[in-house]
Structure 1
Amino acid sequence: MEKGDLFLAVLQHISSNLSRKELEDMKFLCKMKIGKRKLNEIEQGIDLFVCLMQQNLLSMSNTEFLISMLKSLKREDLIQELASCVENKPGPGEQLAPQVEAQLEIAFDTLCDNVGRDWKRLVRKLGISQADIDKIMYAHPHDLKEQFFQSLLLWKKSSGKEAHVSSIQKALRDCNLNLTADILEEKLEVMLL
């Protein structure tokens, strides 16, 4: 399934999982964005999403407004589904070599065990946006390690074939996280023995 088709399928799934009250609440949140007459005609979530698309308030690259509405409904499950659809996943021809995968797995474990509160600074250095960090933090509000791990996975997916441990090591050094960089180097050396 192509990415655009997948996005529409996820919107359809979100629509079918909204209760009548949730749909009414979402329509209320759109009062300043969509005319009253159009809002009154909306009977399903999918109708609302079509209106939002027509108003340029919803697209595959612009899901902020929909996410904010789902947050107000406390529907983290639907936010997670939308986020996993929108994230850049490597295509079939973009699989990483097994050796690189193994190195990244060691790197991720090492980072999650050693970086701690500096993780946001590190993932920003890797190119993850603040908006993506906020989404991940919202999806995993009480689990620092999981927030960090999901950010690293997002970096890996968005980097595709360019995801290498050397990028992580450089980012660690740039953030003055030299001890963690040294620990990671040692673990990688052991792996190569």
Structure 2
Amino acid sequence: MITITNSSTTKELEGILKLQKQNLKNDLTPEQIKEQGFVTVSHLLDDLEKMHRYESNIIAKDGEEVAAYVLAMTEQSKSDIPRLVEMYESFDHILYQDKPVSAYHYIVVGQVCVGLDYRGKGLFDLCYNAYKDFFKSRYDFAITEIASINLRSMNAHQRIGFEVIYTYSDNIAVEWNVVVWDWKD
């Protein structure tokens, strides 16, 4: 039986890392990347523990196994995880509804992943709906970045309500879409 809940233990954070490792772009074939999507960033347990001090993550569990997750990152996280600084600083220059993203109170989706055996069963939507229900009273919207080549992820995010507000290419010519799921509409 699948349960949707907030992460609360080190074992659950380790389960997130296990699932993340199984879906890292660098460890997948081009066919898997195209058909199944991927995650880009590999976190350490220390990273997740630091992020968890500010907000918990949403996870789907099948018994004790983490079957899916949606990571929650706050602006406070950028001080703890140096590789986030550039992304948060870019929010000063990206406009949403005629204001810089940084002018809003937002939560960053640090990453979302559904385990291979659990795809196509609605877990993506269930986890994101739980994410929204948990955070919408404290944040204006959720924001994240998705590589344009990650079509499975782009389509799934747009299906539940995320909209592209900005597109850019990084220093290795990967095109990224900054997407927002507005909870104040």
- TM-score for both structures, normalised by structure 2: 0.27
Higher helix share: 1
- TM-score for both structures, normalised by structure 1: 0.26
Structure having the higher Rg: 1
